[in-house]
Amino acid sequence: MSGSQQHAAPEHTGAPAKRHGEGLWQRVLGALSDGIERVTASALGPYQSAVVRIGFSATWLLFLLREFPNRQELYGPDAPWSWGMAQQLTADNGAFTALMWSDGQGWFEFVYVVAMLASALLLLGWRTRTMSVLFMIGVLSLQNRSVFLGDGGDNVIHLMSIYLVFTRCGQVWSLDARRAARARAAGLGASDADRAGPVLWWVIGLALSALTFTGKVSGGWLLLFWALWIAQGLWWFAGRRSEDGDARRLYDVVASLAHNAALLIIMVEACLIYATAGWYKIQGGRWQDGTAVYYPLHLDYFSPWPALGDLLSAFGPMVLLVTYGTVIVQVAFPFTVFNRKVKNVLLVLMITEHVFIAIVLGLPFFSLAMIAADAVFLPTSFLRRVGGWAARARERVVGGRAGGDAVVPEQRPAEDAEPSAVRT
């Protein structure tokens, strides 16, 4: 009997461990299933993607407006980097720019105006899927025409213009959202109420066909443009047949996956920018001894307000604090994105830093681009609060002009669709 009991003992001790392992495996599978359902069921971060769209389109539009008198010397026929040299470079590296399709003055003016118009319409959220593509074309066309003119902010705009194409950045704070809300209030589907969309789709298709037959666009860029055009047509056709049909649900899943992946890439890109900047600073002797911030304040190129620079650099401990604080914030930020409280504190510090750079060093567009990238991490509750303030301000203005009878349609709430790293 004692021998049989000794042999049975290991079986009793192994059963709880087995059950514990099975329970752990079930929890892992459950968490994985919930995660898959979350990223396929909806487009996360609607407010974050909207503020990124508004931030980058506004930054690029303001830059184009400010440089409008200098556009010929920057990107036009009078640019030091001639059209022929740009053509040779783009032929070697495969960069896309519509300005290589013709060296005429009229074509350059057309591309520049279209770039401004696409930025303004994307800012307003009108036909965001189409305008995001035209916005990308405008950014790439001008920046790849004169590649030696840009700075770090231009590089960020360059990358983000591509990522925005794959996001559903018009879910809130857009004319598209308002049009969809009005269609729902009238009991119509979004496709049923859309009249300008199909016309715009056909015009884009004719233009793309002309570019294909003339050979202006080829390779991967041509495939991308045709794929986007076909996908938009299928989306509209599926919605026209049934907003709740299987085909429309499938397209929703694919669009949500693309949006969530692009939003994740934007977040990773922002973290990489700060991480690489911080770690490179650590290796610099001036950053190590705490004097690096002093020198830009006394460079003529970065001193729009020399007296302000002298005042800020006169107190040595302040220079030391700002120098070390900059490095600490940039290095630490990527490690704090999942801690809401610490992340929000560092966001305030980084945005304050960029406001300082814009004013004191005279780099407003670089700062606006970085603030727009930082906005992907802003908490949803804060963004909704800001949206509420803006809506009330708009109601006062519109209501005052219309005698107080203006009605603003409600947008569909999207508070449950946000990435975990940007929750409040």
Q: How far apart, in whole angstroms, are the C-alpha atoms of residue 242 and residue 153? A: 43
To 5 degrees, how large is the angle CA 401–CA 406–CA 408? 130
b or e along 220-248 (b: 16 or more beta carbons within 10 Å of the residue's beta carbon)?
eeeebbeebbeebeebbebbbeeeeeeeb
* Per-residue pLDDT, 12: 53
* Per-residue pLDDT, 13: 54
* Per-residue pLDDT, 250: 86
Q: How far apart, in whole angstroms, are the C-alpha atoms of residue 53 and residue 415? A: 18
* Per-residue pLDDT, 240: 75
* Per-residue pLDDT, 192: 63
CB 44 within 8 A of CB 259: yes
Q: How far apart, in whole angstroms, are the C-alpha atoms of residue 255 and residue 223? A: 18
The structure tokens listed for 422 are 């940007």
**pLDDT digit string (tens) for the chain, length 424 residues:** 444 444 544 555 556 656 666 677 777 776 777 777 777 778 899 999 999 999 999 999 999 999 999 999 999 988 999 999 999 999 899 899 999 999 999 999 999 999 999 999 999 999 999 999 999 999 999 999 999 888 889 999 999 999 999 999 999 999 999 998 888 888 776 666 677 888 999 999 999 999 999 999 988 999 999 999 999 998 888 877 777 777 878 888 899 999 999 999 999 999 999 999 999 999 999 999 999 999 998 888 888 888 888 888 888 899 999 999 999 999 999 999 989 999 999 999 999 999 999 999 999 999 999 999 999 999 999 999 999 998 888 888 877 665 544 444 445 554 444 454 443 3
* Per-residue pLDDT, 16: 63
pTM above 0.85, yes or no: yes
* Per-residue pLDDT, 60: 98
- Other beta carbons less than 10 A from residue 8's beta carbon: 9
DSSP string across 74-130: HTSTT-SS-HHHHHHHHHHH----GGGG---HHHHHHHHHHHHHHHHHHHHTSSHHH
* Per-residue pLDDT, 422: 41
| Domain-wise residue ranges, the chain | 43-274
Sign of CA dihedral 79, 81, 85, 91: negative
Q: How far apart, in whole angstroms, are the C-alpha atoms of residue 277 and residue 79? A: 31
